[in-house]
């Protein structure tokens, strides 16, 4: 039983880390595209 208690925080931590990584991976392309489109609009005006 102590082994389970020892592993639980590590599993939760790795899950949280992978969740953050996935969010970053999904958010970054959108932000990048937004910046590119925004700069194009600014330059075209």
pLDDT of residue 6: 76
Cα dihedral across residues 30, 32, 33, 38: positive or negative? positive
Label residues 5-33 b or e (16+ Cβ within 10 Å = b). Answer: eeeeeeeeeeeeeeeeeeeeeeeeeeeee
* pLDDT score recorded for residue 1: 59
Report, as an integer, the average pLDDT of 25-41.
Answer: 91
Q: What is the pTM of this model?
A: 0.47
Kindly state the average pLDDT of the residues 2-29. Answer: 85
């Amino acid at each position: 039983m102590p082994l389970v208690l020892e592993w639980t925080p590590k599993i939760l931590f790795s899950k949280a880390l992978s969740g953050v990584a996935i969010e970053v991976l999904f958010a970054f392309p959108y932000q990048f595209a937004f910046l590119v489109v925004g700069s194009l609009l600014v330059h075209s005006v």
